[in-house]
Amino acid sequence: MNVKKMAIRSITYRQKILKYIVGANAGHTGGSLSCIDILNVLYNEVLNVSPQNFNSPNRDRYIQSKGHCVEALYVVLADKGFFPEDDLHTMCRYKSHYIGHPTRKVYGVEQNTGALGHGLSLSVGTAIAAKLDNKAYKVFTLMGDGELPEGSNWEAALTAAHYKLDNLCAIIDKNSLQITGPTADVCNTDPIDEKFESFGWEVKHVNGHSLQELKQVFDELPFKKGKPSLIIAHTVKGNGVSFMQNQTKWHHGVPDKEQYSIAVKELDTALAAII
């Protein structure tokens, strides 16, 4: 992995996320910034998914359970060549296919998500199919920590362990905030690791903003033969923009002109420090 190149990507992706959120005057800013490093590593270093192989039954699958952070996904898919980035100027506009949650109308999107607690079941089904077909592809799903109280997640967690789906990897973007406030105050789901372990999963923690750590943990998949893998990615909501970090209000806050320009400058400074 070219760390420098990857780090540049992460910052560029952040700038684009903000740009298109401002353009659409809508979006889930904080969560998109907390999961973008995970998506960067997945799409550039882990998944065998490209516009060329997207219809191949052997491609890896990425299903974004936390569909509301679609801007992060759009920016990465555009970068990977699934569609012209210019399309994102239509995001959330009248008649655009680029709506505020992922849909299959956008090339590169596996499943229509947005209602929470769906991605894990969909991923479990896809992973069972891979086992039945003796196919080597892996299935990844990105969940928010705020969606864990959805009961369907725990139904799916049981099934994943029951069928020994070591070709399945769930990633929790643990930014510890949700729309109302700290996840621990809304409905405490900690300790997440012990819960999943007791359900039969193998769990690892990672700094969700360390590209090297993320790459390394993905390289260790499956964590244990015969068990589904969970990565708890410790992240910061709004990561990369000082005034958005760890602020509940940036869950779906849209920066105004001045805020946007400050944010872009901060990211430019970070970029200059790398280059």
Q: Which residues bind Mg ion (CB under 5 A)?
A: 144-146, 175, 178
Per-residue binding letters, 126-165, with another protein (x by CB under 8 A) = xxxxx-xx-----------------xx--xx-xx--x---
**Separation CA 40–CA 47 (nearest Å):** 10
Count how many Cα atoms sit within 13 Å of the Cα of residue 235 in the half-sphere of its side chain. Answer: 32
Q: Does 118 bind another protein (CB under 8 A)?
A: yes
Q: Does 96 bind another protein (CB under 8 A)?
A: no
Instruction: Name 240's Cβ contacts closer than 8 Å, sequence gap at least 6.
Output: 10, 11, 14, 33, 36, 266, 267, 270
Residue indicated by tokens 């990211």: 267
Q: Does 85 bind another protein (CB under 8 A)?
A: no
Options 41-49, 104-112, 174-182, 188-196: segment touching another protein (CB under 8 A):
104-112
Least separation in angstroms between residue 136's CB and Mg ion is 32
What is the gyration radius of the CA atoms in the chain, in angstroms?
Answer: 18
**Residue with Cβ nearer another protein (40 or 159):** 159
Instruction: Name 182's Cβ contacts closer than 8 Å, sequence gap at least 6.
Output: 176, 248
Question: Residue 200 carries which DSSP code?
Answer: T
Least separation in angstroms between residue 241's CB and another protein is 31
- Contacted by 152, from another protein, Mg ion, none: CB < 5 to 8 Å by type: another protein
Tell me which amino acid residue 167 is. Answer: N
Phi, psi for 140 (deg, rounded to 5): -120, 140
**Separation CA 36–CA 42 (nearest Å):** 10
Question: Residue 87 carries which DSSP code?
Answer: G
Least separation in angstroms between residue 6's CB and Mg ion is 24
Q: Does 120 bind another protein (CB under 8 A)?
A: yes
Least separation in angstroms between residue 135's CB and another protein is 8
Options 89-97, 115-123, 189-197, 199-207: segment touching another protein (CB under 8 A):
115-123
**Residue with Cβ nearer Mg ion (145 or 166):** 145
**Residue with Cβ nearer Mg ion (221 or 231):** 231
Query: What is the CA angle 101-105-107, rounded to 5?
Result: 100
Decide if 30 contacts 255 (C-beta within 8 A): no
Decide if 196 contacts 203 (C-beta within 8 A): yes
Least separation in angstroms between residue 253's CB and another protein is 26
Q: Does 106 bind another protein (CB under 8 A)?
A: no
Helix axes 211-219, 3-24, angle to 10 degrees: 110
Per-residue binding letters, 38-67, with another protein (x by CB under 8 A) = -------------------x----------
Q: Determine the size of the site formed for another protein (CB under 8 A).
A: 31
Least separation in angstroms between residue 90's CB and Mg ion is 28
Cα-based torsion angle of the residue sequence 111, 116, 119, 120 in order, rounded to the nearest 10 degrees: -170
Which residues of the chain form contacts with another protein (CB under 8 A)?
A: 57, 103-104, 110-115, 117-118, 120-130, 132-133, 151-152, 155-156, 158-159, 162
